[in-house]
Chain A
Amino acid sequence: MRSRRDQIMAILVVLPSLALLAVFVYGFIAQTVYISLTDWGQGAALALKPEIHFVGAYNYRELFTGFLNVRFRQDLVNMVFFTVMFVAASLALGLFLATMLDQRIRGEAVFRTIFLFPMSLSFIVTGTIWRWLLQPRGGVNVLPSLVGLPPASFLWLSSRDQVLQFNWQTLPYFVVLGAALVLVAWGLWSAARRRFRAAALTGLPGLVLLAWALAGGATQLQTLPFQEPHGFNLALIGVVIAATWQMSGYTMALYLAGLRTIPDELREAARVDGASTLQVYRYVELPLLAPITWSAIIVLGHIALKIFDLVFAMAGPDNAPTSVPAILMFLTTFRGNELAKGASIAVILLVMVSLLIVPYLLASFRTGRA
């Protein structure tokens, strides 16, 4: 019934789209990776035909270990902290709002719209608005003075205070330790499911790595010849607040819809079995929301890792305390004329996003097949 002609037609129809994506996504990524492995014209990067030399991983090594690239490393730390805090805050607030709205509240539609509308804004608009709200001598800082209290003086976006500091030198050690623990855990999990070959393949290298790390081997992996403190910049709190204001409506909508798909019989059955409201929530509803949480983490997480416009509009490109790699790439490329280094930053950004996305894609398309 399906003719061969139709089948060929189907392929011909998608082919242009696939070809475009092959070029625009994979072709261009390959080109960026190539640029990142060169010195791209050095001082004369903007020549029509720049002189190009292959330099291997030099740019990457510089970014992680060159002492002038301290800003890149702090930007990377900023990005990770921002991502974790923003995703956690959006999930928590979204779940809270959804749970409340799920109580058959009066005016639910109005509340839903109010919580959701910030999502429709551009990050540029959000950033512009919140820049005004977070002016150190105005905005939310003068709110206390409306009730007669002295105004606050927190430097929302420009504070140089840092908490949760750690030494960059210790990072490789903890990365190795973490990787070893993950491998060991995976091995144990496989062993528990009687998949002994898989257990051996992951568990044994994990144990070796763990032993090596604990024996002090990994401490020799110092990337920097000097101590370099990095930590969570308090200035990022303002950005987290603005981003959460914008995106918590999204998680709320997801959770709300998730709650609505839970059949009432299930709740009733639990209640009949003597579960309290809280217990129903904890043991019936929350577990059913887990898949939603995962997809929200993916969506919000990749937005957070790529964050650019929001910080650009809120704090400007030159405000180091709130800077992230996406902004640094922009400055390095277009102001510093260092195209190769900019490309390296972009590739690192891509790798970070891929670490989050690829496992998700693999998992969801594998189950899709099942």
Chain B
Amino acid sequence: MYQRGARISRWFLQALLILLAVVYLIPVYLTLITSLKAPADINLMTAWKPPAHPYWASYATAVSKFASSLKNSVVLAISATILSAALGSINGYVLCKWEFPGARLVLPLVVFGMFIPYQSILVPLFQFMRRIGLYGGLPGLVLVHVVYGLPITTLLFRSFYAEIPDELLGAAFIDGADFFGIYRWLVLPLSGPPFLVVAIWQFTQIWNEFLFAVTLARPAYQPITVALANLAGGQAVSWNLPMAGSVLAALPTVVVYVLLGRYFIRGLLAGALKG
């Protein structure tokens, strides 16, 4: 009796999950079929019908339209991710293992920086960027993303490094290692997983960011989000293009998630469960 009830509820559960998964995938379905329609075939009434003949030209056009902004995004996201992860790692190491007077006070002040709405620093920011001559290009955007990425990277590394027992460090001291020695030979070799988590997080954040991108980059250095928003928000939209563009813009981060998602979740939890 109990067994059968369990089996039925199991079937029911499985069916419900499949249904929900379908619902979650509806936007993907619609995006893909719309991106494969010729502009003339796009009709609100037949939005749900797949195209009779896939119209690959949407993607060819989208690729040529977005080539330069995709390149910008790649350069931006990769360099800013590497830099902010490296800085976050060394900061996390110091704030975790080399507490200096006032460090307890500094940490919440640092972490606060990751929650602020960027509107509240936007105008002074671009005036400052202009003054130091970094306004408009990719180096400036990289700097901005590195700085505003510091709070989260520092916090994540710090919570990872808290797991490294202090006794291990003590032993290293006895062996004569100094500040950098311990980092180089003890901490860094243990930092693989946190680097992966931080890199996934930062890469998606920077790749997906819009406000800085739209205000701080000259047209030639626009990242993909701005290019997509411009295309989709422009006049006379033929929807196959924004949809193909969405697929292109989404692809890198989706691939990262599907391949590395489990590390990412593990990393998120390290923070969340403690908090």
Contact = CB atoms under 8 A, between A and B. Distances in A.
| A–B contact, 8 Å CB criterion (strictly below) | yes
Interface of A: 1-3, 5-7, 9-11, 13-14, 17-18, 20-21, 23-29, 31-32, 35, 97, 100-101, 103, 105-106, 110-125, 128-133, 135, 137-139, 142-143, 145-146, 245, 250, 253-254, 257-258, 261, 291-292, 294-296, 298-299, 302, 305-306, 308-309, 312-313, 316, 326, 329-330, 333, 339, 342-343, 345-347, 349-350, 353, 357-358, 360-362, 364-365, 369
B191 to A, nearest CB: 16
B41 to A, nearest CB: 13
The 7 A-B residue pairs with the shortest CB-CB distance in the complex, in nearest-first order = A138-B44, A122-B208, A10-B98, A28-B121, A31-B124, A120-B257, A6-B179
Given A253-B268, A295-B272, A25 B17 contact: no
A11 B170 CA distance: 19
Given A105-B13, A112-B261, 17 more contacts: A13-B94, A13-B179, A14-B94, A21-B113, A24-B125, A28-B125, A32-B120, A113-B261, A115-B24, A122-B207, A128-B245, A135-B44, A137-B44, A302-B115, A333-B122, A343-B123, A346-B119
B253 interface: yes
A124 B225 CA distance: 6
Contacts of A129: 27, 30-31, 243, 246
A108 B29 CA distance: 21
Interface in B70-126: 87, 90-91, 94-95, 98, 100, 104, 106-113, 115-125
Contacts of B44: 135, 137-139, 142
Interface residues of B, number: 91
Nearest to A6: B179
A106 B14 contact: yes
Interface in B174-219: 174, 178-180, 204, 207-211
A3 B176 CA distance: 11
Given A125-B249, A350-B117, A369-B104, A21 B30 contact: no
Contact of B14 (A28, A105, A124, A339): A105
B246 A128 contact: yes
A357 B173 contact: no
A9 B97 CA distance: 13
A113 B107 contact: no
B183 to A, nearest CB: 9
B136 interface: no
B254 interface: yes
- Main SS at interface, chain B: helix
Contacts of A132: 30-31, 34, 47, 239, 242-243
Contacts of A302: 115
Contact of B95 (A14, A343, A350, A364): A14
A10 B100 contact: yes
B65 to A, nearest CB: 14
Contact of A124 (B13, B123, B229): B229
- Main SS at interface, chain A: helix
Nearest to B87: A17
A231 to B, nearest CB: 24
B73 to A, nearest CB: 10
A131 B100 contact: no
A257 B269 contact: yes
27 contacts: A2-B173, A6-B178, A6-B179, A9-B179, A10-B94, A10-B179, A17-B87, A21-B113, A28-B120, A28-B124, A35-B124, A101-B17, A103-B13, A115-B24, A117-B258, A125-B208, A125-B246, A129-B27, A254-B272, A257-B273, A261-B273, A299-B272, A309-B210, A309-B225, A313-B229, A326-B119, A346-B117
B60 to A, nearest CB: 19
Interface string B253-275: 11011100100011011011101
A370 to B, nearest CB: 12
Nearest to B172: A1
Q: Give the residue among A5, A295, A339 with the most B Cβ atoms within 10 A.
A: A295
Q: Give the residue among A26, A128, A326 with the most B Cβ atoms within 10 A.
A: A128
A128 B242 contact: yes
B63 interface: no
B211 A309 contact: yes
Nearest to B271: A295
Contacts of A292: 272-273
B94 A146 contact: no
A123 B44 CA distance: 23
Contact of B121 (A3, A25, A125, A128): A25
